[in-house]
Amino acid sequence: MLTHLTLPDALSPADCDRLVGRAAASPARDARLQGGTTAHDLRRADLVWLDDLGDSSGLMDALARAVAEANRSFGYVLGDLAESAQIARYDAARQGHFDWHSDIGRSGLAARRKLTMVVQLTDPDAYEGGALELRPGAEVEVAPRACGSATLFPSFVLHRVTPVTRGTRWSLTLWAHGPAFT
C-alpha cells in the first residue's frame, strides 16, 4: 500500500513567496483542533484560510490538478475539495508544532477526507525543526522540505509537525474528499 507521495514542484518558489506574503499580511487565527478547542500542548500555530485571501481560483486549479495527478497512484474515489485550504505559520517564538494526529474526523466534511496534501511554502534554510513526519506504520518517515514540494498521504495516516526551533515555517494544507473509508 502506498503510504505517501511527493510532488517536487507542486508550486513554484515565486507562487510560494506570493502566498506567504498575502497570508502574512492577513489576520491570523490561533489554530484549533477538530471540534473548535484550543490545546497548545498538542497544536500551536497561526492559521489563515485561503478563501479569506480573495481570488485564489488559479491556485486552487493548480492544486486540484496536483491532487488528481497524485491520486492516480492512490486510486481513491474523490469527489471534491470541499474545505478551504489552510495556510499555517509555525513560528519558533511561539514554539509552533502539531503533535501526532490524523486528519479524519467523526462527522461532517472531516469524515469524508481521503487525501491530505501539505505544500511546503518556506525555503528550508529559513527555519530549523518543523519537520513534517508521517507514521503510516512502525517507522517514521520525514517529508521533503523543498519549497513548493507537496506531500500527499491518506488522511488516516498519523503525522505531525515537530517544534520549530528557529525561524518560521509556512505550509498549505488541503484535503480531498470522497466517500468515507469503511
The more confident residue out of 39 and 71 is: 71
| For the chain, domain boundaries | 5-33+44-177
What is the value of pTM for the model shown?
A: 0.94
| pLDDT tens digit sequence for 77-108 | 999 899 999 999 999 999 999 999 999 988 88
Q: pLDDT band at residue 73, thresholds of 50, 70 and 90?
A: very high
- CA-closest candidate to residue 169, choices 86, 65, 59, 92: 92
Residue 127 dihedral angles phi and psi, to the nearest 5°: -155, 160
Q: What residue type is assigned to position 3 of the chain?
A: T
Tally of CB atoms within 10 A around 20? 21
Are the C-beta atoms of residues 134 and 101 closer than 8 Å to each other? no
Q: pLDDT band at residue 17, thresholds of 50, 70 and 90?
A: very high
Q: What percent of the chain has pLDDT over 70?
A: 94
Q: Inform me whether the pLDDT recorded for 36 exceeds 70.
A: no
21: Cα within 13 Å, side-chain hemisphere: 6
For residue 60 the three cell numbers come to 486552487
Q: Inform me whether the pLDDT recorded for 14 exceeds 80.
A: yes
Q: Residue 76 and residue 30: Cα distance in Å, rounded?
A: 32
Q: Inform me whether the pLDDT recorded for 33 exceeds 80.
A: no
CATH top class, domain 5-33+44-177:
mainly beta
Is residue 38 classed as helix, strand or coil in its secondary structure?
A: coil
**Average pLDDT for residues 57-73, to the nearest whole number?**
91
